[in-house]
Structure 1
Amino acid sequence: MFPSHRRRWSRPLTVDPDAGTYDSGLFTPLEDLHVLSETQFTTLKHPAFPRHGVRIKKTRFCDETVNAYTGYIDVEARHLFFYFFESRSDPDKDDVILWTNGGKVVYSPFRPGCSSSLGLFMELGPCRVLDSNGTKFHPDSWNSRANIFFIDQPIGVGFSYADYGEHVGSTEEAAKDIAAFVHVFFEHFKKFQGRAFHMAGESYGGRYIPVFAAAVYDQNRLLVKNGLSPINLTSIMIGNGLTDFFTMTASYYDMACTPASVPPILDIQTCVRMKQAIPRCVKALREGCVDTFDEFSCQAADSFCNTEIGIPFWRSGKNPYDISVDCDGRVEDTLCYPVTKHISSYLDRPEVRKLIGVDHTLKTTNFSSCSNAVGLEFGRNMDGYRPTYDYIANLLDRGIRALIYVGVNDWICNHVGNERWTLSMEWSGQEGYRSQKAREWLVGGKRAGKTRSYGGLTFATVDGAGHMVPYDKPVESLELVNRWLAREDL
C-alpha cells in the first residue's frame, strides 16, 4: 500500500453543495498533475464534498509516451479504483472522456459488475494485454486525441472495495459518487476545468451513463449556486448499451432468427415457437415492468421471456457478444474471450499491483473481471429493468449530445433493439430524427456501417463488430470517436 500525502485546510470542512454559499478561501487546488509522486498517494479533498476524497499517484505503465495516473475515489468507507491517461496529442487542450464498462450475461442478461480494465486492456486503452507477455502499445487508443478515465465501479468491481462491506445497489446511488468525483477532480486540476467532458460506456453503460450524466448536469446547478465552476458536460457515448430492456428483449428473435446481421442461427421450429411467444412476452413486460412497475409481475414476465426467447439462443453455443462465431470457452469463465483471463493474470501480478497502487487490503484477493456479487445485488433490485431513454431525452433537450453506436454482430445489446428505442424516444427532435434516412458512413473510403443523425442524437452501426466495438474494429471505432469529439459528421 502506498503512503498518503494529504492536503489540509486551515478551517474545518463543513460546506455542502445544498447549503449556503461556498467560501473559496477554504480550498487551495493542487493545480498540476505532474507534481504528483510515483511512490505515494496524494489525497485530494474538497470542502463542498466532505464525504469524498481522491487518492492519486503518477504511474509509469501501459503507455510511457503519455502521463498516466492511478488511484481511488474515497467515499467514506467505500473506495472506487480508477486509471487516468493524458492525451497523446495535446493534453493541455484536448477533451476529457470518462469510461465505464458494464456487466456480463449468464442467462439473465440485465446485471452489471464488470471492471473497466476490460475496456482499458482489451478495447480502447493505450495498451492491450492480449497474451501472457503483458502490455503492448495500442496505436488506436481513444487517448489519441483525448484525456481518458477508466473507472472500476460500482463498489466491489475490479480493485474497488469497501472497508466494512458497504455497497450500492442501484445506478442512481452509484451516480452520486461519480458526480462528486468528477467535480473534485476538475476543481483540483484547473488545467482541465472548462474542457469538453464526455461520459462513455458500453453494455450496462446504457443504464449507467444517462443517469451519471444527469447527475453531473443537475449537480452543476448546485455548484454554480455555491460559487463553484460547473463541469462542461458536452456529450454521452454509449456502445452496445442496455438503455431499454423492453425493446431489447423482443429483438433477440430478430438477431437469432432473421438475417439482421448474419444468416439465421436457429432452426425453423425453434424460431416459430419464439415468434409465437413474442406477443405474450411483450404484453407481460409492458404490464409488469413498463406501464407500472410491479416486482413480482416483472420477474414473472422476465422469466417467461427468458425461457421462450433467451434460452433457445444460449443452447446454440454461439457467442452472445458476437453471433458470427461460437463462444470460446465457458461464458461464465471467459466471457467467450480467453484474453480476459490474460488480463486477470496480469492484474494479479504483485509487481503490477504495487506499481498502480492497489490497496493492501486486496493483496490476498485474486482479480476478477466481473463481480457476481455486484450483479446479484443490482439484479435483486431489478435495476436493469428501468429504462434510461427519458434521461437521454432530457439531456438532448438541454444541449447534451448523444452518440449511440452498436456493433451489428452483438446479440445481447443488439443494433435492432437500440435502433428501435432511438426512433421511439420522445424528445423535441423526435420528428426530425425519424425523418432522417439511414445512410452509410465510411472509413478510408470503405463502408463502416450505417448512421442516422439529427439535433444532437447520432445512431451508428459498425459492420463486422460485436458487443465490444473497439476490440473488433479498433480503427473504425477510433475514427468514430474522433469525428464525434471534433463535431464532424460521420
Structure 2
Amino acid sequence: MVLRSLARSPLLIVSLCSLVAAKAAQYPLRAPAGYGASQSTLKNAHFDLVNHGSGYAPTFSNVMEDDFPVLTHHYEVNSTVELSSISDEYFTRVNHPMFPHHSVRIKRSKDWCDTSVKSYTGYIDIGAKHLFFYFFESRSPSNDLILWTNGGPGCSSSLGLFMELGPCQILSEEDISSPKFNPHSWNNNASVIFIDQPIGVGFSYADYGEHVGRTEEAAKDVAAFVAIFMERFVKGKAGAEDLKFHMAGESYGGRYLPVFASEVVDMNTELKKGGWTPVPLKSVMIGNGITDFASMMTSYYDVQCTNASLKPLLPISTCVRMRQAIPRCEALLRSECLDRFDSMSCLAASATCGMELEDPFFMTGLNPYDISKPCDGPIEETLCYPVTQHIRTYLNKPETRKQLGVSKNVGEYKGCSDEVGTDFHTHVDGMRMTAPYVEGLLERGIKVLIYVGTYDWICNHVGNYRWTAALQWSGHKAFNKEELREWKVGGEVAGRTRSAEGLTFATVFGAGHMVPYDKPEQALALLNRWLADQEL
C-alpha cells in the first residue's frame, strides 16, 4: 500500500524514497536450481499434485499440520490442473521441473469476499519459506491476468485488496463482519492475484527465520511462482494462447516491478530453451512508485514550495534553504549512489539531503500520502488511514484465517512488517538503480504505465515525471516530443497524460498515493483502457 520507514523524523516515519539505513553485508543472489532442465529429459517424471494444507511434504520443510486433510496422487509432466477441480477442503500442490525448490499449494475459498466469482488462496513454498497469495477470477470473460503487489518494503497486498482494488472492501468498522462488494474492483475485466511478498509480509512466513533483503533476490521467487501458475493452470486451456499477463503495484512497487518483470523476461528465455511455456508478459503498471530515488528526493521541493500539486506548504525561508540545497544534493546523490555505488557514502548523502528536503514536511502534520488532508494518526499505527486497523482486525479473526487456509505458524497479521523494512534498509535496496530495468523492458516490447495521484508527497508526480523523461531507450525522443494532454472519464478531466513507444505517463487529479482508493472510478477506467490497448 504505502512506503514506510524507520525514522529520523519526530513522527518516526521518513520517506522510504530516501531509505536511510546502516550498511550491512549483501545477500548473494541465487538462481533457482533447475534452470536449463529440458522437457525431453523429464518425459517420464511424476510429481506430487496434491498435498495437505500446511502438512509435511517430502521435498520441503516440515510444517505444523493445520486444518486440511492429505490427498496425494500423481500427474504427467505436461498435464495441467483445472481450477474448477480445486477443493476448499484441502490444498492442491503443483510444481515445475524447472524450479525443483519451488511449489504452489492452492485451495478454493468458498463463499468469501465476492461470491459472484471463484476465489482461491495459497502459498508458494520455497524450502522453508512460504509466500501467501489470493487469486480472484474475473467477473467477465477476460484474457487478462494481473499480479498485484503492494510496497513498503514490507507491506501486505491485503491492503491493496481490501482498501483499494479488490473485489471486496473493508472501509469501516461495520465491514469487519462482512466485507462489502466493490463495484470498481480490478477483477471486473481481469483475473487478479494479490501476493504477500517478500517473506515475512502479511501471511507469508519462514520456518526458521529465513528472510530476503534485496529486490533482485525476491524476484527469483515471484518469477518461479508465475511460471508454475502458467504451466499448471493456464497452459492448454481455451483462450490460453491469447492470455495477457500484467504485473502491477504501487509505492515501493516502483522498485519491485521493473526487477520482477525483467526476471520474468530473462526466465522466459530459459523456459523456451527447455521446451516449457513462457510467461506471456504484456505490461507493467506502477502507481505512485519509487523507481528513481534521486529524482524523487529533489522533487520534494516542488511539491512543498510551489503550486505543483496544491498551494505551497512551507514558509518561504524554509523553501529558500531547500532550494539552495538542491544542487549540492543532486551532485552528492549522483556521485555516491549512481556514478558509483558505495553503501556508506550513499547512505550519508541520502541522510544529508533528507534533512534538508524531507524533514521539513513532517513538521506540517499533513498526510504524506495525501497532502490535501492532515494525517489521521498516529502514523506509525495507522499510516494516516484508520481503515488499515479494520483490515488488520478482520484478518486476525480465527474464522477468517481458517477459511483462507492461513498456516498456524503465522503470527498476528500486520499491514506492514518493520522487520522486512529493516532488512531492505540494511541492504540499501531502494537506492539501487532501477530505471535501467524499465529501459530494458521497453526495448523488449513490454509496455509500461506510470500513473500518479497528484496529491501524493512521498512518491509524487513531479519526481515520476522527471525520471520517465530521463529514460534512455529507443523511444526516448518520441516520448519527450509528446505534450501532456488531458484525459477524461465520464466527460470530466481525470488528469494529464502522454504516451509513445510503449511508455505511458498519467496523472490522476485529486488522488493521493493510493489512486484506486481515492479515485476508484478513474482508476478502473484507466485500467480498462490500458488492458484494451486504448489511448487514455
TM range (shorter): over 0.9
Paired position in structure 2 for 1:35: 85
Partner in structure 2 of residue 120 of structure 1: 161
**Aligned ranges 1:144-293 → 2 under 5 Å:** 144-189=188-233, 190=235, 191=237, 193-194=240-241, 195-293=243-341
Native 8 Å contact 1:193 1:231 kept in 2: no
1:30 deviation in Å? 4.0
1:455 aligns with 2:501: yes
SS of equivalent to 1:176: helix
Distance (whole Å) between structure 1 residues aligned to residue 44 and residue 147 of structure 2: 29
- What code does the residue aligned with 2:166 have? G
The answer to whether the 8 Å contact 1:21/1:225 transfers is no
Q: Name the counterpart of 1:8.
A: none
The answer for the alignment partner of 1:136 in structure 2 is 180
Report Cα offsets for 1:22-73 as digits up to 9, x if no partner. 4344315342101111011111122221100111000021101000000000
Provide Cα deviations, 1:182-228, integer angstroms capped at 9, x if missing partner.
01011111337441000001000000000000001110010110010
Matching residue within 403, 416, 419 for 2:465: 419
The whole-number CA distance in structure 2 between the counterparts of 1:234 and 1:25 is 33
Q: In structure 2, what is the equivalent of residue 106 of structure 1?
A: none
SS at match of 1:361: coil
Instruction: Tell me: CA distance 1:399–1:328, structure 2 relative to 1, closer, same or farther (3 Å).
Output: same
SS of residue matched to 1:234: strand
Change (3 A) 1:239 1:354: same
Q: Which amino acid aligns with 1:50?
A: P
| Cα deviation, residue 94, structure 1 | 2.4
Cα distance between partner residues in 1 of 2:379 and 2:148 = 23
| 1:86 paired to 2:137 | yes
1:137-156 residue CA offsets vs partner (Å, 9 max, x unmatched): 00000000000000000000
Could you report, residue by residue, the CA deviation over 1:445-486 in whole angstroms, capped at 9, with x for unpaired residues?
A: 000000000010000000000000000000000000000000
Higher mean alpha-carbon deviation, 281-290 vs 172-181, is at: 281-290
* Partner residue, 1:441: 487
Contact kept, 8 Å, 2:121 with 2:405, in 1: the verdict is yes
- Taking structure 1 as the reference length, the TM-score comes to 0.93
Q: Distance in 2 between the 1:157 and 1:295 partners? A: 25
CA contact (8 A) 2:39 2:276 kept: no
- 2:379 equivalent to 1:379: no
Matched, 1:303 2:321: no
Counterpart CA distance in 2 for 1:78 and 1:98 is 20
What is the distance in 2 between the residues matched to 1:214 and 1:450?
28
Structure 1 alignment gaps of length 5 or more: 1-13, 104-111
Tell whether the 8 Å contact from 1:115 to 1:370 is kept in structure 2 after alignment.
yes
Give the Cα–Cα distance (whole angstroms) in 2 for the partners of residues 424 and 47 of structure 1.
41
Contact 1:132 1:346 in 2 (8 A): no
Are 2:384 and 1:366 equivalent residues in the alignment?
A: no
In structure 1, distance between residues paired with 2:382 and 2:516 = 18
The answer as to whether partners of 1:203 and 1:239 remain within 8 angstroms in 2 is: yes
Letter in 2 for 1:337: Y
**Does 1:54 pair with 2:98?**
no
Distance 2:39 2:285 in 1: 34
The answer (yes or no) to whether the contact 2:38–2:274 under 8 Å persists in 1 is yes
| Aligned partner letter, 1:129 | I
Q: Note the alpha carbon deviations across 1:336-394, whole angstroms, 9 max, x for none.
A: 000000000000000000000000112xx221000000000000010000131111111
Counterpart Cα distance in 1 of 2:44 and 2:372: 59
Counterpart mapping for 1:326-405 below 5 A: 326-362=374-410, 365-405=411-451
Which residue is 2:146 aligned to?
97
Instruction: Give the distance between the partners of 1:166 and 1:472, measured in 2 at CA.
Output: 36
Quote the residue 1:68 is aligned against. Answer: 119
- Aligned residue type for 1:197: F
* 3-state SS in 1 of match to 2:134: strand
Residue identity matched to 2:89: T
Shift in Å, 1:421: 0.6
* Aligned residues of 1:329 and 1:338 also touching (Cα < 8 A): yes
Following TM superposition, by how much is the alpha carbon of 1:19 offset from its aligned partner in structure 2, in angstroms?
4.0
Identity of aligned residues (%): 59
**Aligned AA (1:355):** Q
- Does the residue aligned with 1:99 lie in a helix, a strand or coil? strand
User: Could you report, residue by residue, the CA deviation over 1:83-130 in whole angstroms, capped at 9, with x for unpaired residues?
Assistant: 00000001xx42000000001xxxxxxxx1100001000000001001
Q: Which residue of 1 aligns with 2:7?
A: none
Q: For 1:396 and 1:48, locate their aligned partners in 2 and report how far apart those are by CA, in whole Å.
A: 27
Counterpart secondary structure, 2:457: coil
SS in 1 for 2:208: coil
Amino acid at match of 1:128: Q
Distance in structure 2 (CA, Å) of the matches to 1:433 and 1:84: 35
Give the match's secondary structure for 1:360.
Answer: coil
Cα distance in 2 for residues equivalent to 1:467 and 1:41? 36
Aligned AA (1:460): A
**1:230 counterpart SS class:** coil
Q: Which residue of 2 aligns with 1:11?
A: none
Which shifted more, 18-27 or 94-103?
18-27
Write the letter of the residue equivalent to 2:506: A
What one-letter code is carried by the residue in structure 2 that aligns with 1:132? E
